[in-house]
Amino acid sequence: MAVRENPKPHITEIMKSYRPLLLALPCAMSLAVTEANAAVLIYDDFSGNNADNVNGTTPDTNIYNANTWQADSINYLRADGSLLDEAGDSNNVDRGAFLHVGTGIFATNTTYTVTLDFGQLEQSAIFLGFSDVSTPDPITNLTDSTAQTKGSNNFAIRVREFTNDQDVAIWNRVGGANSQTIVNATMSDFNDASYVVSMTINSNSLTDAEVTINYGGSEQTVNADLSGMQYFYYGVEDADLSSAQGTMGVVNSVTFASVPEPTTATMGFLGLACMLFRRRRN
């Protein structure tokens, strides 16, 4: 008696078996795209004119409010991201631009990233981070916007290129006392047009959050109090011995974003599809 071979499943039957997954994937992908698009909270690529100060310009994205950058009245911070030393003397240039976001910048149990894209740094340091309510308020005292020393609590990315002192660090001001934690000090200069440094913030606790930078294979973490933060800022400081006029560096873009995570709806679509697929196979 001849043994009847099982016929190979027709392509139509195969497609029917996978139909639940095929139907669910577009929905899940659409949700994932929506989540990713909603992740950017503040972004600016500084596409203004070199002749203009960044003061009064509006970031490309700011989901919190319609506030503008508030910078000191001296044109050290240009609308195209250039950081200029117009004095050309040995006085310490220390200027910043503040975006008043207000309370509620951070939520608990959320991961955030802060990204600084910069270049052509010479005899100066760039800061990018957050500050709490400062005394005096930088918005009303713009002639003294020492960005990294504003407020009782302050934390930021710091990149520095002084004569014999180049590094990436976490700047951390706690209770009015300044400190820096070096992440990587092996680079020789920052002469190229673009370098990217990112800082990760895990807000499991708003009063004791973990702030981490990984750069050049080295990683450091400090703890920061997020509860009173109201300002997103960037700033520049030149070396005390620098006496040349000209560009101290360029800020290509700044980004503050929440890290997208799969939502319950996204995972639900995929989970339901897998259950239906399994039942159909059985």
Per residue in 110-136, pLDDT (tens digit) is 999 999 999 999 889 999 999 987 655
Residue 20 belongs to a domain: no
- Per residue in 222-262, pLDDT (tens digit) is 999 999 999 999 999 987 666 566 789 999 999 999 997 65
| Sign of torsion over alpha carbons 199, 37, 132, 129 | positive
Between residues 50 and 146, the one the model is more confident about = 50
| Sign of torsion over alpha carbons 220, 223, 226, 230 | negative
Residue 152 belongs to a domain: yes
In this predicted structure, what is the pLDDT of residue 149?
84
Q: Is 0.85 topped by the overall pTM?
A: no
User: Number of C-alpha atoms within 13 angstroms, CB side, residue 40?
Assistant: 13
Parent domain of 65: 39-266
Give me the long-range contacts of 205-211 (CB less than 8 A, separation at least 24): 205/108, 206/106, 206/108, 209/106, 211/155, 211/170, 211/172
**What strands lie across the sheet with 94-100, from one edge to the other?**
70-71, 94-100, 229-238, 124-132, 154-162, 165-174, 177-184
Distance CA 26, CA 104 (A): 34
Residue 153 belongs to a domain: yes
In this predicted structure, what is the pLDDT of residue 136?
54
Residue 129 belongs to a domain: yes
In this predicted structure, what is the pLDDT of residue 187?
86
Residue 26 belongs to a domain: no
Q: What is the dihedral of CA 117, 123, 129, 132, to 10 degrees?
A: -160
Residue 64 belongs to a domain: yes
Distance CA 105, CA 114 (A): 13
105 alpha-carbon distance from chain centroid:
13
Residue 23 belongs to a domain: no
Coil, strand or helix at 108? coil
264-281 vs 19-37: helix crossing angle, rounded to 10: 170
Tokens matching residue 162: 């002084």
First-to-last C-alpha distance (Å) of the chain: 30
Between residues 226 and 38, the one the model is more confident about = 226
User: Number of structural domains, the chain?
Assistant: 1
Query: The domain that contains 69 carries what CATH number?
Result: 2.60.120.200
Coil, strand or helix at 219? strand
Residue 2 belongs to a domain: no
In this predicted structure, what is the pLDDT of residue 31?
37
